[in-house]
């Protein structure tokens, strides 16, 4: 009844925990991009079906992964995420009710062992449970389902552990900016220049002040700064690609 998919690349650190939390599903699909660590060994031990595919964008890879699933209901979590027992039980119950075609799931995100409560992670929700006819958009990063209408919401959470050190925040910002810059080449040059100048400032103010990121202490400041830098770089690199494709 439920297929789960996880996209991976050198994901050995968290993958066993992630797949263990999916023990209630009927099928687990791993779409891997040439991992060189123990990712594939762990996936095989946990009974997942493994498919190899070169990475292009997150949206494209997740759409491909979704299409490999055989069941009507699709659950997507990333390798550095996992479902608590209560969330797994809630998913099983709501699928039997069949009231909605897609579900937003709240997130709890952690830096090391501390929950990040504010900034961009404040009240974070994503559609991660949905029927197979739904589609991902064309975003290179920060992918999302685009055609969901009859949407419900879970009460319980997905746990996300993306940051084990300050360097992880910096690396993610750079990676995301590089991917997102591909999308910005479609924007008018004048608008890109305006966005390069003003959007990073707006992002920082939004995350650090409006969304109360300062209440997370130095982590809130670091997250807001690198979120603003990600915005700056994606428009700057997009502008460079547009001028010199």
Give yes or no: residues 189 and 113 share one domain: no
How many domains would you assign to the chain? 2
Give yes or no: residues 62 and 181 share one domain: no
Give yes or no: residues 171 and 122 share one domain: no
| The domain boundary residue, chosen from 117, 135, 163 | 163
Give yes or no: residues 25 and 102 share one domain: yes
What phi and psi values does residue 116 have, to the nearest 5 degrees? -90, 115
First to last CA, the chain: 46
Domain that residue 157 falls in: 2-163
Convert the pLDDT of each residue in 168-208 to its tens digit. 999 999 999 999 999 999 899 999 999 999 999 999 999 99
Give yes or no: residues 144 and 195 share one domain: no
Using the predicted structure, report yes or no on whether residue 245 has a pLDDT greater than 80.
no
Alpha-carbon distance of 82 to 232, in angstroms, equals 31
Give yes or no: residues 181 and 202 share one domain: yes
Instruction: Tell me the two tokens of residue 17.
Output: 């925990």
Give the list of residues 6+ apart from residue 182 with CB closer than 8 angstroms, or none. Answer: 57, 140, 238, 241
Convert the pLDDT of each residue in 10-50 to its tens digit. 999 999 999 999 999 999 999 999 999 999 999 999 999 99
Alpha-carbon distance of 196 to 193, in angstroms, equals 5
pLDDT-derived band at 242 (thresholds 50, 70, 90) equals confident
Give yes or no: residues 151 and 68 share one domain: yes
Convert the pLDDT of each residue in 64-112 to its tens digit. 999 999 999 999 999 999 999 999 999 999 999 989 999 999 999 999 9
């Amino acid at each position: 009844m439920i297929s789960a998919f996880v996209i991976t690349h050198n994901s050995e650190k968290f993958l066993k925990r992630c797949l263990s939390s999916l023990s209630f599903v009927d099928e687990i699909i791993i779409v891997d991009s040439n991992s060189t660590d123990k990712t594939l060994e762990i996936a095989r031990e946990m009974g997942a079906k493994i498919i190899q595919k070169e990475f292009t964008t997150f949206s494209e890879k997740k759409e491909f992964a979704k299409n490999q699933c055989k069941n009507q209901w699709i659950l997507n979590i990333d390798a550095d995420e996992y479902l608590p027992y209560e969330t797994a039980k809630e998913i099983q119950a709501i699928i039997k009710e069949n009231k909605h075609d897609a579900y937003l799931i709240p997130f709890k995100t952690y830096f090391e062992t501390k929950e990040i409560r504010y900034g961009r992670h404040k009240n974070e929700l994503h559609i991660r449970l949905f029927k197979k006819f739904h589609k991902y958009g064309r975003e290179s990063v920060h992918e999302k389902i685009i055609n969901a209408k009859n949407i419900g919401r879970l009460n319980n959470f997905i746990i996300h552990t993306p940051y084990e050190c300050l360097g992880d925040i910096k690396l993610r910002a750079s990676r995301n900016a590089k991917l997102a810059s591909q999308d910005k080449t479609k924007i008018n040059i004048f608008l890109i220049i305006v966005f390069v100048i003003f959007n990073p400032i707006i992002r920082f103010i939004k995350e650090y002040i409006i969304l109360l990121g300062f209440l997370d202490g130095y982590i809130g400041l670091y997250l807001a700064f690198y979120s603003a830098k990600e915005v700056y770089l994606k428009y700057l690199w997009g502008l460079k690609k547009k001028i010199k494709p």
